[in-house]
RNA sequence: GGGCCCAUAGCUCAGCUGGUAGAGCUGCGGACUUUUAAUCCGUAGGUCGCAGGUUCGAACCCUGCUGGGCCCA
């Protein structure tokens, strides 16, 4: 009788018996007067019971905390029966509260019906509050109603549900069995709420831009493709909202932000889900260095609200978000990687600063011939900047410190087609990426608003695509036209919300902060 | 894409060198009106992920497949 089908049949039999007794196992219309949290707040933790009271003779009649009657409702998550009395723990979305159902309180007939209720079912109850001998706030039921009969039983009460595959595929079960999972998503909501407040307070306008695009842009990524029938139009799901948000700056919204889903047709990993949530914001008359300051404030504020302060642990290791955060030029990170052995030796700044020197270093180090991603990336690179960026991606990133946020700066212009060139050195752009615990958390730059330069950069992307690079942007003619009407000097930034939530809630996988992560279909 | 690991009852897990499947929880029957993983007695529950192969004999060894996890590129 422990086969899954038989377990269900047993519960279905109880539901049928409830029906036969005139009770709807899916009843409606019971409105609780109080949540569990309401009552826990109303009757704070009582002093521990005196030893003699606990061990002494049982009181004939429990002592009530007040004459008031409370109506509560929730799922039975623990069930301890004694024949003529039952303790159950009820859970609602605010907390858990014990309910004590006694045969002599609810009556013989009602108690017979009550006996068909078990762990997993939803019930409503009415009664006064009391403190048990063990000191626990408890509602003493004077009446109990069946609300929902669960025909599947819950996972094991002690070990719960730990199979990660079931946890992700059946998130509802995960949430029932693992309360800390609900806490993570509650914090996620708090983070998003705080983000909105942070930007609203600073005069940013929240907007919504299209998530189906006709032109691929705003990031380097492979898209999901779809089709609109009535227009017979091929579309891609957006990989970034950037070009639309900057059109709004052209239109006169000097400060805008959008929190929304992006879609990138790439592999899955602990840090990648094909659809993920991104915050992007743009501020006219600001520069990328202004955004560094804003980013520090934002992260520290969020950590204060969610992680208990600017210092916390992630994966058992300390992280300190206290500003100011160090800045490191991309090339210096590559040099460090070479020194630390993450890349072949001999990569010094003079080599990275000179195209011919770097080419000969690549030749002599043998990297250019390697079959791995680094070798392929170097061979695909058509410019000095792309080679430097490839070395950073494939080695420099790993050399960054893990316990402090770090701004990587001095990005090459060739790999940043939407960023403003640095005034002193036009080969690089006014851009930073923020790395924390070795992961990219934000990407920001002063926006390129010179339409002629923008056209040249788009053309560079088109040329790269022609050379076989897959992750390039399309030439966005209308965006160039918008810039020709004039976009004020502007800085913008994107922050990945999922990774932010991972960091602040100490979760190891992006799947732990996305309610329904993409999974291969099961059976 | 490559490497390593995992898949046994509804859940959490044992299962030795190949000898024919075990526990706890859940369920069912019983006792029990202040429990906290309630307790006690009794009882039921299996396509060992799937498909092949080796063997007298496979949960266990081999191959392939499916799903998942970790690492790498």
Concatenating the DSSP letter of every residue in A376-409 gives HHHHH--SHHHHHHHHIIIIIGGGS-SSS-EEEE
Distance A182 CA to B45 C1' (A): 33
Asked if the Cβ of residue A119 lies within 7 A of any atom of strand B, the reply is yes
Quick one: A320 and A456 in the same domain?
yes
Q: From residues 250-269 of A, which are strand B contacts by CB within 7 A?
A: 267, 269
- SS3 category, A424: coil
- Domain finish residue from A154, A169, A204: A154
In contact, A389 and A330? CB cutoff 8 Å: yes
**Quick check: is A402 in a domain?**
no
Could you tell me where the beta strands, DSSP code E, fall in A45-178? Answer: 70-81, 85-92, 95-102, 122-127, 129-131, 137-140, 143-148
Rounded CA separation A446/A442 (Å): 14
**Quick check: is A240 in a domain?**
yes
Quick one: A238 and A100 in the same domain?
no
**Quick check: is A226 in a domain?**
yes
- Domain finish residue from A119, A154, A189: A154
Please name the residue whose C-alpha is nearest to the C1' of nucleotide B72: A372
Tell which residue, A411, A409, A416, has the closest CA to residue A448.
Answer: A416
3-state helix, strand, coil in chain A (%, to 5): 40, 25, 40
**Quick check: is A410 in a domain?**
no
Tell which residue, A518, A449, A510, has the closest CA to residue A484.
Answer: A449
Quick one: A191 and A320 in the same domain?
yes
Asked if the Cβ of residue A374 lies within 7 A of any atom of strand B, the reply is yes
**Quick check: is A507 in a domain?**
yes
- Count how many domains chain A has: 2
Quick one: A138 and A221 in the same domain?
no
Helix A242-251 to helix A477-485 angle, to the nearest 10 degrees?
A: 30
Q: Give the CA dihedral A381, A387, A390, A392, nearest 10 degrees.
A: -170
Long-range contacts of A475-479 (CB under 8 A, 24+ apart): A475/A215, A476/A215, A476/A217, A476/A243, A478/A215, A479/A217, A479/A243, A479/A246, A479/A247, A479/A454
Distance A134 CA to B18 C1' (A): 54
Quick one: A245 and A134 in the same domain?
no
Residue A321's pLDDT is what?
97
Question: Which tokens is A58 given?
Answer: 């049982």
**Quick check: is A504 in a domain?**
yes
Question: Which tokens is A97 given?
Answer: 């509260």
Asked if the Cβ of residue A289 lies within 7 A of any atom of strand B, the reply is no
Strand order in the sheet with A275-284: A205-206, A255-263, A275-284, A490-496, A439-446, A428-436, A406-412, A327-329
- Through-space distance between the first and last CA atoms of chain A, rounded to whole angstroms: 24
Asked if the Cβ of residue A160 lies within 7 A of any atom of strand B, the reply is yes
Asked if the Cβ of residue A14 lies within 7 A of any atom of strand B, the reply is yes
Quick one: A184 and A285 in the same domain?
yes
Rounded CA separation A502/A479 (Å): 34
Nucleotide nearest to A372 (CA to C1'): B73
CATH of the domain at A214: 3.30.930.10
Nucleotide nearest to A58 (CA to C1'): B34
- Residue numbers of the domain that contains A57: 4-154
Nucleotide nearest to A3 (CA to C1'): B45
Name residue, tokens 């490839």.
A390
Residue A49's pLDDT is what?
57
- Helix (H) / strand (E) element for A300: namely helix A288-306
**Quick check: is A358 in a domain?**
no
Asked if the Cβ of residue A170 lies within 7 A of any atom of strand B, the reply is no
A197: preceding bond cis by omega (within 30 degrees): no
Rounded CA separation A332/A324 (Å): 19
Residue A46's pLDDT is what?
66
Asked if the Cβ of residue A62 lies within 7 A of any atom of strand B, the reply is yes
In contact, A94 and A38? CB cutoff 8 Å: yes
Nucleotide nearest to A83 (CA to C1'): B32
Q: From residues 418-437 of A, which are strand B contacts by CB within 7 A?
A: none
Asked if the Cβ of residue A49 lies within 7 A of any atom of strand B, the reply is no
Quick one: A19 and A144 in the same domain?
yes
Quick one: A209 and A292 in the same domain?
yes
**Quick check: is A123 in a domain?**
yes
Rounded CA separation A408/A505 (Å): 24
CATH of the domain at A105: 2.40.50.140
Quick one: A306 and A269 in the same domain?
yes
Q: Which nucleotides of B are covered by protein (CB under 7 A)?
A: 1, 9-13, 24-28, 31-39, 43-46, 66-73
Residue A364's pLDDT is what?
87
Asked if the Cβ of residue A315 lies within 7 A of any atom of strand B, the reply is no
Nucleotide nearest to A7 (CA to C1'): B27
Quick one: A217 and A313 in the same domain?
yes
Nucleotide nearest to A82 (CA to C1'): B32
Rounded CA separation A122/A120 (Å): 7
Quick one: A276 and A202 in the same domain?
yes
Write out chain A's pLDDT in tens, 523 residues: 468 888 999 999 999 999 999 999 999 999 999 999 999 999 987 666 555 454 444 555 678 898 999 999 999 999 999 999 999 999 999 999 999 999 999 999 999 999 999 999 999 999 999 999 889 999 999 999 999 999 999 998 888 899 999 999 999 999 999 999 999 999 999 999 999 999 999 999 999 999 999 999 999 888 999 999 999 999 999 999 999 999 999 999 999 999 999 999 988 999 999 999 999 999 999 999 999 999 999 999 999 999 999 999 998 889 999 999 999 999 999 999 999 888 888 899 999 999 999 999 998 888 888 877 888 888 888 889 999 999 999 889 988 988 899 999 999 999 999 999 999 999 999 999 999 998 999 999 999 999 999 999 999 999 988 887 788 899 999 999 999 999 999 999 999 999 999 999 999 999 999 999 999 887 6
Residue A50's pLDDT is what?
55
Asked if the Cβ of residue A522 lies within 7 A of any atom of strand B, the reply is yes
Question: Which tokens is A391 given?
Answer: 């070395």
- Domain finish residue from A154, A189, A205: A154
Asked if the Cβ of residue A78 lies within 7 A of any atom of strand B, the reply is yes
Question: Which tokens is A114 given?
Answer: 């009550």
Asked if the Cβ of residue A168 lies within 7 A of any atom of strand B, the reply is yes
Q: From residues 185-214 of A, which are strand B contacts by CB within 7 A?
A: none
In contact, A386 and A415? CB cutoff 8 Å: yes
Quick one: A196 and A315 in the same domain?
yes
Rounded CA separation A285/A296 (Å): 19
Residue A56's pLDDT is what?
46
Rounded CA separation A67/A101 (Å): 18
């Amino acid at each position: 009788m422990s086969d899954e089908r038989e377990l269900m049949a047993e519960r279905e039999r109880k539901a049928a018996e409830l029906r036969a007794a005139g009770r709807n196992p899916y009843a409606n219309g019971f409105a609780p007067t109080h949540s569990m949290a309401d009552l826990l707040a109303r009757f704070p933790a009582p002093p521990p019971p005196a030893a003699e009271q606990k061990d002494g003779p049982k009181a004939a009649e429990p002592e009530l905390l007040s004459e008031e009657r409370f109506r509560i409702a929730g799922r039975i998550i623990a069930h301890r029966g004694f024949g003529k009395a039952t303790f159950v723990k009820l859970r609602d979305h605010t907390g858990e509260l014990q309910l004590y159902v006694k045969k002599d309180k609810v009556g013989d007939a009602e108690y017979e019906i009550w006996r068909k209720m078990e762990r997993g079912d939803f019930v409503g109850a009415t009664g006064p509050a009391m403190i048990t001998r063990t000191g626990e706030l408890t509602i003493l039921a004077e009446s109990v109603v069946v609300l929902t009969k669960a025909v599947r039983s819950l996972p094991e009460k002690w070990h719960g549900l730990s199979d990660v595959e079931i946890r992700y595929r059946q998130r509802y079960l995960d949430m029932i069995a693992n309360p800390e999972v609900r806490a993570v998503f509650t914090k996620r909501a708090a983070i998003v709420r705080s983000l909105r407040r942070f930007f609203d307070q600073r005069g940013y306008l929240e907007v919504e831009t299209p998530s189906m695009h006709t032109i691929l842009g705003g990031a380097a990524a492979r898209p999901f493709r779809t089709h609109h029938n009535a227009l017979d139009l091929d579309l891609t799901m957006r990989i970034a909202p950037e070009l639309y948000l900057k059109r709004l700056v052209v239109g006169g919204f000097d400060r805008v932000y959008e929190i929304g889903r992006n879609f990138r047709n790439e592999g899955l990993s602990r840090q990648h889900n094909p659809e993920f949530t991104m915050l992007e914001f743009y501020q006219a008359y600001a520069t990328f260095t202004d955004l560094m300051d804003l980013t520090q404030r934002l992260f520290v504020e969020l950590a204060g609200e969610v992680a208990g302060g600017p210092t916390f642990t992630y994966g058992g290791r300390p992280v300190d978000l206290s500003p100011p955060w160090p800045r490191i030029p991309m090339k210096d990170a590559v040099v460090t990687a070479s020194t630390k052995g993450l890349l072949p030796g001999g990569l010094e700044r003079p080599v990275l600063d000179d195209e011919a020197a770097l080419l000969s270093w690549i030749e002599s180090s043998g990297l250019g011939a390697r079959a791995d991603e680094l070798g392929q990336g170097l061979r695909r690179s058509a410019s000095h900047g792309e080679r430097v960026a490839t070395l950073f991606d494939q080695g420099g990133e790993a050399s960054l410190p893990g316990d402090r946020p770090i701004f990587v700066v001095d990005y090459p212009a060739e790999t940043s087609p939407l960023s403003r060139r640095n005034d002193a050195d036009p080969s690089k752009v006014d851009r930073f990426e923020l790395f924390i615990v070795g992961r990219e958390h934000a990407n920001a730059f002063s926006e390129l608003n010179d339409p002629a330069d923008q056209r040249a950069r788009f053309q560079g992307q088109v040329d790269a695509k022609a050379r076989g690079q897959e992750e390039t942007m399309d030439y966005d003619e209308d965006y160039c036209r918008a810039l020709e009407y004039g976009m004020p000097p502007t800085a913008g930034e994107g922050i990945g919300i999922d990774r932010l939530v991972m960091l602040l809630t100490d979760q190891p996988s992006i799947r732990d902060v996305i309610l329904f992560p993409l999974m291969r279909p099961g059976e």
